A and B are shown apart, each in its own frame.
Chain A
Amino acid sequence: MSLEDMYQEIILDHYRKPLNRAPSLEDEAVAVHHSNPLCGDEMDLRLRVVDDAVDAVVFDGEGCSISQAAASAMTDAVIGRDLKDALDLTEDFRRMMHGDEPARADDLKDGVAFQGVAKFPVRVKCALLGWMALKDAIETYERGASAHTVTHEE
């Protein structure tokens, strides 16, 4: 598999025109900051919850194309889902990044395009950054807190 195969057009589209990329969110319930020291990626993710569901999620920050595109595709896949369901989908994406076939390929939407990233181990962390930030935001919300900062180990 070549590098160009990993960077499918669908990924580049999300990188060039990210969905739900914004520095702030009205009525946010939780803001989390995640960083990946290996590549210097930094991500702020904000979550709004209505009726225990993801009403809105936005991200902002700096990072490689994979991290930015994966976060963009993630937002599109989880908005409108129950928190529990969004966590379940996050787990599906995480398993896919470790080589498993996705059980919820349709629900992952453009997220399935990242399946090839699993073949580039050093980039898996990049693809997971947005999803792990979402998971943390939901768990932080469920703990009753409103902010959390996480540094992902190399």
Chain B
Amino acid sequence: MAFDVPALRKEFPTLQREIDGHRLVYLDSGASSQTPRVVLDAMDRYYSWSRSNVHRGVYQLAEEATDLYEGARAKLATFLDADPRGVVFTKNATEGCNLVAYSWVRRQLGPGDALLTTVMEHHANHVPFTTAANELGFEVRHVPLTDDGQLDLDAARELVADGKVRFLAAVHVSNVLGTINDVAELAGVVREANPDAKVHIDGAQAVPHLPVSFRELDVDFYAITGHKMLGPTGIGALIARPELLESMEPFLTGGDMIRDVTLEGATWNDIPHKFEAGTPMIAEAAGLGAAVDLLTDLGMDAVREHEVDMAAGLLDAVGGIDGVTIHGPSDPALRGAAVSFAVDGVHPHDVGAMLGSKGVCVRVGHHCTKPLMRCLGLTATARASAYVYNDRDDLEPLVDGIEAAKTFFAR
């Protein structure tokens, strides 16, 4: 492994906690990651040293704040191999998906058109588009799953064959199954049938865990969130082709996103500012910039290598427990380190509560993927999701807790 996990763990204040005498084992980074000291420091420095608003300030503090904010944009653009003019800061990935739904899909699609998506979308990448479809009368088609929890690309080819699909909304890495989708290939399938189709990817579970190049993926939109990649809550980004953003109408309007305003109307600022109305999340941008620096230092190839190891460890350890079923790909090379599982005869909520009482944090429920849950015939799962600060020492408390739940709730 290219980085020292126990040393890295020391940089996260929360991970030093104990719960009822148990070492905190945080296996819920798929929901939100922990925050390292460098991110807290970056936000603290803004508030205690450079606190002021961004843009148009002609004094030193405002210049510093602007540099922090725009510097974070530049860092994120480099990190994702994207043009900084195509990096729009949002509140989270959900807002990025809504921006695309409101400023592109709702203005472009109508009766006779189709939108392709998958059955494994998070509600964030599902509801904005189905709501639009129901209001505007375009059709929504869904790529089904294979038995191993991957997208069925043969079925996708059939779904786009009539050339009506004008938009693809798909998730890069499933938050429930852990599946890493070949979104470039899926985009290729869609564009082969309709070269003008636009492609939007939900990268919330991908960017924290894999090297991602927006240019190489060759998609049109890509939504991310900061709080799953060691950054603070309250900031995310939509990465988009600059020329596409230029052609689009704004999503939210108000201050900062305008070029000129008259009593009768307004003209729009240059991109990406055209899509950032009002005072932005300056401290959060500074924090996200520090998170990007840390991930860059760790190296995303090394992060991925570590997570393949953790995925393999989780699949072996949890999958090896009698009466436990794992949902999603069985090959660690095809998946992230978010592992959903079911314990025979024990409700996920009870599994989660037992683990929680032993300091092991996992997520239980439908994981904001109710259509996927229905597809799998489930109402809920328990999910352990690992990140850079977890190592194989975290597996034993997890396994012990699952065994304890089995014994405690045995009927």
Contact = CB atoms under 8 A, between A and B. Distances in A.
A15 B354 contact: no
A3 B380 contact: no
B357 interface: yes
A146 interface: no
A107 B165 CA distance: 62
Contact of B347 (A2, A7, A65): A65
Contact of A64 (B349, B370, B411): B349
Contact of B349 (A2, A7, A39): A39
Contact of A15 (B20, B379, B380, B411): B411
A103 B408 CA distance: 31
B20 A2 contact: yes
A152 interface: no
A62 B379 CA distance: 9
Contact of B353 (A3, A12, A42): A3
A3 B404 CA distance: 12
A56 B137 CA distance: 47
Nearest to A38: B365
A39 B366 CA distance: 7
Given A62-B379, A64-B347, A39 B365 contact: yes
B411 A39 contact: no
Contacts of A126: 349
B124 interface: no
Interface in B335-382: 347-350, 353-354, 356-357, 364-366, 370, 373, 378-380
Most buried by B among A4, A15, A37, A40: A40
Contacts of A66: 349-350
Contact of A3 (B354, B373, B411): B354
Interface in A38-86: 38-42, 62-66
A2 B21 CA distance: 12
Size class of the contact patch on chain B: 20 to 34
Contacts of A16: 411
A16 B408 CA distance: 11
Given A15-B411, A39-B380, A123 B364 contact: no
A37 B380 CA distance: 9
B350 to A, nearest CB: 5
Nearest to B378: A40
A16 B354 CA distance: 17
Contact of A65 (B357, B364, B409): B409
Nearest to A154: B365
A87 B354 CA distance: 33
A40 B380 contact: yes
A2 B379 contact: no
A75 B354 CA distance: 27
B379 A123 contact: no
A40 B411 contact: no
A39 B373 CA distance: 12
A3 B347 contact: no
Contacts of B364: 39
A63 B408 contact: no
Nearest to A17: B411
Most buried by A among B356, B373, B409: B409
Contacts of B347: 39, 62-65
A11 to B, nearest CB: 11
Contact of A40 (B20, B353, B379): B379
Contacts of A3: 353-354, 356-357
B373 A2 contact: no
Interface of B: 20, 347-350, 353-354, 356-357, 364-366, 370, 373, 378-380, 408-409, 411
CB-based closest 7 A-B pairs: A40-B379, A40-B380, A3-B357, A64-B349, A64-B347, A39-B349, A16-B411
12 contacts: A3-B356, A4-B357, A12-B408, A41-B349, A62-B347, A63-B347, A64-B348, A65-B347, A65-B350, A66-B350, A120-B353, A123-B353
Given A12-B409, A40-B366, 7 more contacts: A37-B366, A37-B370, A39-B347, A39-B364, A40-B349, A62-B347, A63-B349
